[in-house]
A and B are shown apart, each in its own frame.
Chain A
Amino acid sequence: MRNNLKISTELVGVFLRIGLFTFGGGYAMLPLLQAELVEKRKWLTQEQLMDYFCIGQSTPGIIAVNVATFVGYGRAGITGAVMATLALIAMPVLIILALANVLTLYMENPYVAKAFTGIRIVVTALIAEAVLKLWKTAVKNFADAAVFAAALLLSVFGGVSPAVIVLSFGLLGGILSLRKAKK
């Protein structure tokens, strides 16, 4: 119990920072998670992080929250799960509530707009790098590459929702797995 509390404190610190610097949605959290959890603290491998994202994308709820809960649980059980999740959302919630009355001023401020021009460019590059790092764990053979290509086309050009894509390929995997087990 006491050990969980200590680990949870560390978790809170990490996810407070991640929540503060995640710009652009749940996937933009990936580079930060890679840096903080996989590379710096070695709490997870790239494969494990990838799997958290995969499961997090397939279950109800926002992927960022799901991943935080998963990571937190892995480190310190239920306490960790709750602390990590609350830490992730703490700064975003505080910022929006604090800014809420002056949001129009914030949104129309030219300095904010300029800063975000820069931030968006960096986030684009960060995600590209994150994909490069994950490539080997996700695409191991020609079949994987085909799935990647198909999913990419469906998403970018077909406008198919992420949930449908993930659940379809998951279902395919599940069916093939059952057939393999029968043999």
Chain B
Amino acid sequence: MIYAVLFWEFFKIGLLAVGGGLVTVPFLYELAETYHWFAPEELADMIAVSESTPGPLGVNMATYAGFKTAGIGGGLLATFGLIMPSLLIIILLARYLQKHPHNQWLEDILIFIRPAVLALICSAGWLIARAAVTDYVHAAAALLCLLLIHFVKKSPIFYIILGAVGGLFLA
């Protein structure tokens, strides 16, 4: 049954794709080759769509790929498959950490990981900046946004809506 296969394949992806959303792409490519649920060329479309709708990239990719394969049911099952490993692993991990707090070994590891992850966040921000800031006007707009965000403490959601509206009228 295709639903079971979809769930299982995306469960594997959820388990193996460690890191950001785009890590799922090579796995999806393999899926396309193996099962012919969708054409490899369609992957570029999927990435574009996943970046243009809200939500984590990997989730969007799973939903869209699942939908292309087997309609709404496929979309739902692929997504559930993808998030299942996270749910299981993180719940177990969180439970363990709650029972064994103040783990010195973990703290020592985290001391190194924190600046590395901060760098990764910067790196991701840089990629978004490269796509977003295409000329000096955009750069000035970004800077203006940063100043607003820093000094006028409103919710990020407010600014995102502002950005969408601003883009509609000014772009």
Contacts and interface: CB of A to CB of B under 8 A. Distances in A.
Given A69-B91, A92-B54, A170 B21 contact: no
Interface string B145-160: 1101110000111011
A69 B60 CA distance: 18
Contacts of B79: 89, 93
Interface string B1-43: 0000000000000111111110100000000000000000000
- Residue from B21, B76, B86, B93 with most neighbouring chain A CB atoms (10 Å): B86
Contacts, number: 350
For chain A, give the interface size range. 35 or more
Contacts of A24: 51, 124, 128
A64 to B, nearest CB: 4
A152 interface: yes
Interface string A112-131: 11111111111111111111
B90 A118 contact: no
Q: Is the interface of A mostly helix, strand, loop or mixed?
A: helix
A100 interface: yes
A170 B156 CA distance: 31
Given A25-B57, A70-B94, A107 B82 contact: no
Interface in A75-98: 78, 81-82, 85, 88-89, 91-93, 95-97
Given A96-B60, A116-B167, A74 B19 contact: no
B116 A165 contact: yes
- Residue from A54, A95, A176 with most neighbouring chain B CB atoms (10 Å): A54
Nearest to A89: B59
A59 interface: yes
For chain B, give the interface size range. 35 or more
A138 B118 contact: yes
B21 A120 contact: no
Contact of A152 (B123, B133, B157, B165): B123
B86 A60 contact: yes
Contacts of B123: 152, 155-156, 162
A27 interface: yes
A26 B20 contact: yes
Contacts of A73: 90-91, 94-95, 98
A125 B149 contact: yes
5 contacts: A55-B93, A93-B75, A123-B128, A166-B113, A169-B113
Interface of B: 14-21, 23, 45, 48-49, 51-60, 63-64, 67, 72, 75-76, 79, 82-83, 85-87, 89-91, 93-95, 98, 104-105, 108-126, 128-129, 131-133, 138, 141-143, 145-146, 148-150, 155-157, 159-160, 162-168, 170-171
